[in-house]
């Protein structure tokens, strides 16, 4: 028995023997589809829920693909916008640093009549008695 199986497997691998039953079933299936006998059998009506499930699954798969493509396009648009905003941020920051320099500030306030002082700041010391009397007088 095992020898026969081994021989039939070797022959089927060589291409010498074909399974006739399977070929006849395939032919019969396509023949029934072409003629229209598939729709008149009870087995067709039993498979309608399964075909509906496959249809819904295909629709979900297609809609998921469209959603993924739309999301990918939005991501690419946002990447370009982010790059532009980053360049704008860098240029604005460098411009702000330039205008924040002491020399630039001095140039801008010179038109208002404010001049830069040449004397460094110093501490003013008060005697505690005079400070107390000034506070009392203002009250």
Q: For residue range 74-124, list pLDDT tens digits in order.
A: 999 999 999 999 999 999 999 999 999 988 888 888 888 888 888 888 888
Give residue 83's domain range: 48-116
Residues 32 and 38 sit within 8 Å (Cβ to Cβ): yes
Asked, for residue 82, whether it belongs to a domain, the answer is yes
Q: What is the pTM of this model?
A: 0.47
Q: In angstroms, rounded to a whole number, what is the distance separating the alpha carbons of residues 82 and 88? A: 10
Contacts of 98 (CB under 8 A, 6+ apart): 104
Residue 65 lies in a domain: yes
- Total domains in the chain come to 1
Query: Would 36 be classed as within a structural domain?
Result: no
- The band of 137, judged by pLDDT with boundaries at 50, 70 and 90, is low
Per-residue model confidence (pLDDT) at position 13 = 57
Q: Is 41 among the domain residues?
A: no
Residue 57 class from Cβ within 10 Å (0-12 exposed, 13-18 middle, 19+ buried)? exposed
pLDDT (tens digit per residue) in 33-63? 777 766 666 776 778 888 899 999 999 999 9
- Helices marked H in 100-127: 102-110
67 within domain boundaries: yes
User: How much is the mean pLDDT over the chain?
Assistant: 81
């Amino acid at each position: 028995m095992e020898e026969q199986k081994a021989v039939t497997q070797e022959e089927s691998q060589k291409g010498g023997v074909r399974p006739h039953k399977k070929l006849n079933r395939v032919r019969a299936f396509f023949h029934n589809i072409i003629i229209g006998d598939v729709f008149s059998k009870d087995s067709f009506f039993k498979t309608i829920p399964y075909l509906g499930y496959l249809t819904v699954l295909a629709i979900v798969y297609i809609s998921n693909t469209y959603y993924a493509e739309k999301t990918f396009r939005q991501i690419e648009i946002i990447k370009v916008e982010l790059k532009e905003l980053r360049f704008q941020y860098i240029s604005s920051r460098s411009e702000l640093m330039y205008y924040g320099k002491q020399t630039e500030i001095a140039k801008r306030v010179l038109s208002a009549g404010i001049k830069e002082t040449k004397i460094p700041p110093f501490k003013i010391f008060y005697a505690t008695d005079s400070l107390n009397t000034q506070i009392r007088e203002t009250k």
